[in-house]
């Protein structure tokens, strides 16, 4: 059996120059993360302390939940509450008491801050401490901010997990080494990774966030953190403060990223290359084969990324290296150079990178480059489509299962579909 793992050589540069822009931006706020977080931690509840706009945002983004007993809600702070902060605190306590009385299944309650000025005046961390004291040991109350002033949409997850990290039980210095996979993954993807790690021979693998707040993974000096998402800077720092160490790795998107990500953990636990090869080969070959059908559509096509999710750099790397797409500009809301070191080294040389946004200037650059595909937020997609550009909603990339070998083709398909749709419309227009 061959022991060659198909990881291509670096041809980019981890020190690529970056265009930094600070202007008007078009991105969802961190409240959006509640949509996938509430599905993951099944005994948690997210109480947004906000305005009617916040309530509307999460209700419409998670519309399907109106048929079930939801695990999120908004405590609307209105003008009546402005009469006095003390009243607003009383009001919040009353809402929480009523909620916990009605929903005894809630074990972890997040108070999620937002950006209206009346909410900013409320000290939610004190409110969380006060309410935690009242409801312990049955319910733990934590807080974080999803405010659009401080966060873009994936930073909501980072803020939530960073708030949860100090609550993890402590692992001791004499405990055996363990692997902690960090970042919200759909259960089906988490199960696939758990099976792969078991087949490779990596011991003591846990996932954070867990599916239940009663199963918080322990963390300590022998915990090795493997980030599954590129937007978890604060969470990684909070875990490092607990003694954990981060494993440097690219992110598990596409065949190459997934292989290198798994391999980084396998190497740390001293797994032999041949064992790694044997355990990953079937899934890797299946994924490589399944990518072929999308390569035909994507090869040579030019793509432009607006900054939305912080997934842009790993995704651009996957599209350029495994599917032959050309990167015109790769925008990211925030560039964490350390966490993205391997990803940057894998980008084609001279990739145009930008960080932050000045939306009008970036729109001008996009129009003049006239890419085949633009990845952007909902607010930009319709105007750009009406100008004849083909777009992909960035938010879909966060809502869909896209990590790992089994999802590599689905991930490529998310980019191929709008191009196929555009080709079909153009054909129909020519024929009619
Ligand atoms: Fe809008 Fe701010 Fe509420 Fe987000 S947190 S929905 S940006 S008001």
Q: Which structure tokens are listed for 253?
A: 């998107």
Measure 349 CA to ligand 1 centroid, in angstroms. Answer: 38
Which residue has its alpha carbon closest to ligand 1 atom 7?
A: 148
Measure 120 CA to ligand 1 centroid, in angstroms. Answer: 12
Which DSSP state fits 170?
A: B
- Res 227: pLDDT: 98
Closest ligand 1 atom, residue 148 Cα: 7
**What strands, in cross-sheet order, belong to the sheet with 44-50?**
72-76, 44-50, 108-113, 140-145
The packing angle between helices 233-241 and 155-164, to 10°, is 10
pTM, 2 dp: 0.93
Measure 22 CA to ligand 1 centroid, in angstroms. Answer: 19
List, as one string, the DSSP characters of 358-424.
Answer: -HHHHHHHHHHH--SEEEE-HHHHHHHHHTT--EEEHHHHHHS---SSTTHHHHHHHHHHHHHHHHH
Closest ligand 1 atom, residue 147 Cα: 5
Per-residue pLDDT of the chain (432 residues; tens, 9 = 90+): 333 343 444 455 567 789 998 888 777 889 999 989 998 999 999 999 998 899 988 887 766 545 556 788 888 876 655 555 657 888 899 999 999 999 999 999 999 999 988 788 889 999 999 999 999 999 999 999 999 888 888 999 999 999 999 999 999 999 999 999 999 999 999 999 999 999 999 999 999 999 999 999 999 999 999 999 999 999 999 999 999 999 999 999 999 999 999 999 999 999 999 999 999 999 999 999 999 999 999 999 999 999 999 999 999 999 999 999 999 999 999 999 999 999 999 999 999 999 999 999 999 999 999 999 999 998 899 999 999 999 999 989 988 999 999 999 999 999 999 999 988 888 777 776
| Class of residue 119 by CB neighbours under 10 A (exposed 0-12, middle 13-18, buried 19+) | buried
- Res 72: pLDDT: 85
Closest ligand 1 atom, residue 30 Cα: 4
Residues with CB under 6 A from ligand 1: 29, 31, 50-51, 53-54, 57, 114-116, 146-148
| Per-residue pLDDT reduced to its tens digit, 113-144 | 999 887 888 899 999 999 999 999 999 999 99
Measure 29 CA to ligand 1 centroid, in angstroms. Answer: 6
Query: Using CA atoms, how far apart are residues 316 and 342, in angstroms rounded to an integer?
Result: 13
3-class secondary structure, 144: strand
Which DSSP state fits 30?
A: G
Measure 149 CA to ligand 1 centroid, in angstroms. Answer: 8
Measure 48 CA to ligand 1 centroid, in angstroms. Answer: 10
In this structure, are residues 355 and 18 in contact, taking their beta carbons and an 8 Å threshold?
A: yes
- Vertex 417, ends 424 and 290: CA angle to 5°? 125
Q: Cβ atoms within 10 A of the Cβ of 295, count?
A: 15
Collect contacts of 423-431 with beta carbons under 8 A, ≥24 apart. Answer: none
| Per-residue pLDDT reduced to its tens digit, 39-91 | 899 999 999 999 889 998 888 776 654 555 678 888 887 665 555 565 788 88
| Per-residue pLDDT reduced to its tens digit, 165-199 | 999 999 999 999 999 999 999 999 999 999 999 99
CA distances from 91 to 4, 54, 76, 134 (A): 63, 18, 10, 15
Residues near 320 by beta carbon (within 8 Å), at least 6 away in sequence: 326, 327, 347, 348, 351
In this structure, are residues 157 and 32 in contact, taking their beta carbons and an 8 Å threshold?
A: no
- Res 70: pLDDT: 78
Please report, in angstroms and rounded to a whole number, the separation of the first and last CA atoms in the chain. 56
CA distances from 208 to 26, 156, 179, 216, 276 (A): 29, 15, 10, 8, 24
Query: Using CA atoms, how far apart are residues 397 and 319, in angstroms rounded to an integer?
Result: 13
**Ligand 1 test: best mutation among 47, 53, 144, 152, most atoms within 8 Å of CB?**
53
Closest ligand 1 atom, residue 58 Cα: 6
Measure 290 CA to ligand 1 centroid, in angstroms. Answer: 40
Measure 53 CA to ligand 1 centroid, in angstroms. Answer: 6
List, as one string, the DSSP characters of 200-221.
Answer: HT--SEEEES-SSGGGPPPBST
Measure 8 CA to ligand 1 centroid, in angstroms. Answer: 42
- Res 69: pLDDT: 66
Q: Cβ atoms within 10 A of the Cβ of 110, count?
A: 27
**Distance of alpha carbon 276 from the chain centroid:** 27
Closest ligand 1 atom, residue 57 Cα: 6
Query: Using CA atoms, how far apart are residues 242 and 279, in angstroms rounded to an integer?
Result: 32
Query: Using CA atoms, how far apart are residues 288 and 284, in angstroms rounded to an integer?
Result: 6
Q: Which structure tokens are listed for 22?
A: 């600070």
Measure 55 CA to ligand 1 centroid, in angstroms. Answer: 9
Ranges of beta strands (E only) in 77-215 are 108-113, 140-145, 178-182, 205-208
Q: Chain-wide mean pLDDT for the chain?
A: 91
**Ligand 1 test: best mutation among 27, 30, 31, most atoms within 8 Å of CB?**
31
**Ligand 1 test: best mutation among 29, 47, 60, 76, most atoms within 8 Å of CB?**
29
Query: For the chain, give me the number of helices (H) and strands (E)?
Result: 16, 14
Which residue has its alpha carbon closest to ligand 1 atom 3?
A: 54
């Amino acid at each position: 059996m061959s022991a060659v793992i198909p990881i291509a050589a670096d041809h980019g540069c981890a020190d690529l120059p970056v265009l930094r822009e600070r202007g008007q931006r078009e991105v969802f706020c961190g409240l959006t993360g509640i949509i996938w977080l509430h599905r993951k931690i099944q005994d948690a509840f997210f109480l947004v302390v906000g305005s009617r706009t916040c309530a509307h945002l999460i209700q419409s983004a998670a519309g399907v939940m109106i048929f079930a007993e939801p695990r999120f809600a908004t405590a609307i702070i209105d003008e009546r509450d402005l009469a006095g902060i003390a009243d607003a605190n009383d009001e919040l306590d009353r809402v929480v008491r009523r909620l916990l009385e009605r929903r005894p299944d809630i074990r972890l309650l997040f108070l999620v801050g937002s950006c209206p000025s009346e909410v900013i005046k409320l000290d939610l961390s004190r409110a969380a401490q006060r309410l935690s004291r009242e409801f312990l040991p049955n319910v733990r109350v934590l807080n974080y901010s999803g405010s659009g002033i401080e966060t873009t949409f994936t930073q909501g997850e980072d803020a939530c997990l960073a708030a949860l990290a100090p609550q993890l039980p402590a692992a001791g210095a004499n405990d055996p080494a363990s692997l902690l996979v960090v970042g919200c993954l759909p259960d089906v993807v988490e199960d696939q990774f758990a099976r792969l790690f078991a087949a490779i021979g990596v011991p003591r693998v846990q996932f954070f966030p867990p599916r239940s707040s009663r199963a918080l993974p322990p963390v300590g000096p022998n915990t090795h953190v493997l980030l599954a998402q590129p937007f978890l800077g604060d969470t990684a720092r909070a875990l490092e403060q607990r003694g954990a160490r981060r494993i440097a790795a690219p992110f598990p998107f596409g065949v190459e990223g997934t292989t290198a990500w798994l391999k980084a953990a396998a190497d740390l636990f001293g797994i032999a290359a041949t064992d790694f090869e044997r355990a990953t080969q079937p899934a890797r070959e299946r994924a490589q084969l399944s990518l072929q059908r999308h390569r035909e559509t994507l090869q040579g096509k030019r793509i432009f990324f607006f900054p939305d999710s912080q997934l842009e750099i790993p995704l651009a790397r996957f599209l350029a290296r495994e599917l032959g797409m050309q990167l015109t500009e790769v925008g990211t809301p925030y560039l964490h150079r350390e966490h993205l070191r391997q990803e940057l080294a894998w980008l084609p040389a001279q990739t145009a990178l930008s960080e932050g946004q000045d939306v009008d200037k970036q729109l001008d650059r996009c129009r003049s480059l006239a890419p085949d595909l633009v990845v952007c937020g909902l607010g930009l997609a319709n105007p750009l489509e009406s100008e004849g550009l083909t777009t992909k909603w960035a938010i879909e990339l966060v809502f869909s299962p896209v990590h790992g070998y089994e999802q590599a083709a689905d991930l490529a398909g998310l980019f191929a579909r709008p191009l196929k749709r555009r080709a079909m419309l153009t054909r129909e227009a020519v024929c009619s």
